[in-house]
Structure 1
Amino acid sequence: MDRWQAMRIVAKVAETASFAEAARLLHMSPPAVTRAVAALEETIGARLFVRTTRSVKLTEAGSRYVEDCRRILADIAEAEAAAAGSYATPSGTLAVTASVLFGRLHVLPIVTDYLDAYPTMAARTLFVDRQVNIVEEGIDVAVRIGHLPDSGFAAARVGAVRRVVCGTPAYFARHGVPQTPEDLRDHRIALSTGAWPSPEWRFARDQRVTIHPALTSNTNEACIAAALAGWGVTRALSYQVGPALSDGRLQVVLADYEEPPLPIHVLYPEGRHAPAKVRTFVDLAVARLRATRLLN
């Protein structure tokens, strides 16, 4: 048996933690899988698995070897796909996720332009205000606002947004401009539970204020609409109120107390092994989002 096939078998046994299941998935007999693993262990001079009647577990050496096997097998698969052309031309359906409002305002126009550029492609968007599990939900590209956990995914930073407290100039003319976060207790607050589930608003220098909202809504848009109507004060991400800030309909207060901006990243699981549909979309999305004035 060649080394490439032996690596495939070892990787599948490690993935399934079962010789029998690996044999089934590889369309081989269990004894053939067992012999292949034993022969490979003898060749490299190290035990890869600890076998009991109830479990199959990788040894420390086996864990390192399987990690290298997966990388090598991925490189081989990529080379074969590139030779066949599947990685050279975008094909299939592209799945993209982002938060609801950011997706509608900034991601959807990129998706539609991408489809115009690649007419044979299709796209699926998932715009939701929750953390999507990219792998489990079959997502190719995610646009995330906030600090990223160490996931091992490839990520390109495209900008940042501020958390701003705002209201209309007319409202502040009537009720006064808050000078410190504590002054918010004297104002009517519209609170979005979708964006700020906790009634505690945090500010720079570890200042915290417990908000007692007069209006609570599950959507950012409703609270922003209330603020635009001159009803009171709300807190939003800067991109959500960007046009209203630019044309003066809304005014930012407490800017000196803002926490550091939240980064925005384009995130995708495969890294350099990503297929053409992902690479081409990421290139377009990164360039467009970095050029968006409201995100800089």
Structure 2
Amino acid sequence: MDRWLAMRVFVKVAETESFAKTARAVHMSAPAVTRIVAALEELVGARLLVRTTRSVKTTEAGARYLADCRRILGDIAEAEAAAAGHYSEPSGTLAITAPILFGQMYVLPIVTEYLDSFPGMHARTLFIDRQVNIVEEGLDLAVRIGHLPDSGLTAIRVGAMRHVICAAPGYLEKRGTPRTPADLKDHRIVASNSSWASPEWRFTGGQRISIDPVLMCNTNQAVIDAARSGWGLTRVLHYQIGPALQAGELQVVLEAFEEPPLPVHLVYPEGRQAPAKVRAFVDLAVQRLRGDPLFG
């Protein structure tokens, strides 16, 4: 048995939680993938994966073995890349995903600066308001806003982001400024029905308020535009309304009741063995994002 190939197949099965997806990724048949994993389990003398009708999960022994395989395969890839001369110089195409507005406002300028610094590079962005599996989607890196689940991915924190309630000054003059979360029932609420949205707004101390939006929009930008026009109150991430706050078009309310800010991370699969194109972008993005006072 080719031990190196078996490790690669096992790692891919663990990451995708699917024999079928792994088979497509490594250009093998699903039965062949199953046989390789079974042979590997027999070789190491332990059950590495638990198979159900819906997914595949690592056992406790499998999780430890997965970490070792990643380290070993990373060392091999690093040695090969160094020998080929690709480890120290970014090359190829960098694929990155981020939430739509964050991507447009903050990631895209970093991407263009990165491409200017490395003229031989190409880049592909996927700005979308849902979390995608970067391994399955063939992406190199993701921006995640919020608390991260446990995973085998490398995460570098670049800052934190407040969840704020805001309205136009004209609206607040006309309808009054809410002093407590309970006052929201007396106001017109504009909300997004995107994947980030929730019918319940949470506040410090575990307080929760169920909202009844008068206007629902399918994009965050539409919600912000409605609030800027003076139509009602809305709740968004602070960075999304930074320009409007600076221009005096929106005003934050109920600041004393805000939950702790959400962490912002750069997430990528390979850790210290990441290719040069990823490490170079991460270095630049960390510098730019941590240097922005909005993320402090």
Aligned counterpart, 1:230: 230
The residue correspondences of 1:6-85 to structure 2 (distance < 5 A) are: 7-8=3-4, 10-11=6-7, 47=45, 68-85=68-85
Corresponding letter in the other structure for 1:266: L
Aligned to 2:260: 260
The amino acid across from 2:95 in the alignment is A
The count of residues paired between Structure 1 and Structure 2 equals 268
TM-score w.r.t. length of structure 1: 0.81
Distance 1:195 1:205, change over 3 A: farther
Matches within 5 A, 1:80-99: 80-99=80-99
Q: Which amino acid is 1:158 matched to?
A: V
Query: Does the CA-based 8 Å contact 2:74-2:270 persist in structure 1?
Result: no
Give the structure 2 partner of residue 271 of structure 1: 271
Contact 1:48 1:63 in 2 (8 A): no
Query: Cα distance 1:70–1:193, how it changes in 2: closer, same or farther (>3 A)?
Result: closer
Residue number in structure 2 paired with 1:103: 103
Quote the residue 2:209 is aligned against. 209
Quick one: which amino acid aligns to residue 258 of structure 2?
A: E
| Cα root mean square deviation, aligned | 3.1
8 Å contact from structure 1 (residues 47, 61) kept in 2: no
C-alpha spacing 1:72/1:78, structure 2 compared with 1 (3 Å): same
Distance apart, 1:9 and its partner CA: 5.6
1:198 has 2:198 as partner: yes
SS at match of 1:177: coil
d(CA) in 2 for partners of 1:255 and 1:165?
A: 8
Percent identical across equivalent pairs? 60
Sort the Cα spacing of 1:93 and 1:186 in 2 relative to 1 into closer, same or farther, 3 A: same
After superposition, the Cα gap between the structure-2 partners of 1:282 and 1:14, relative to the gap in structure 1 and judged at 3 Å, is closer
Gaps of 5+ in 2: 14-18, 49-57
Measure how far apart 1:198 and its partner are.
2.8
Tell me which structure has the larger Cα radius of gyration.
Answer: 1
Give SS of 1:97's match.
strand
Matched position secondary structure for 1:155: strand
Contact 1:192 1:218 in 2 (8 A): yes
In the other structure, the counterpart of 2:167 is 167
Gaps of 5+ in 1: 51-57
Residues 181-216 of structure 1, C-alpha deviation per residue, up to 9 Å, x if partnerless?
A: 111111111111116533221111111112121111
Give the deviation of 1:14 after TM superposition: 5.0
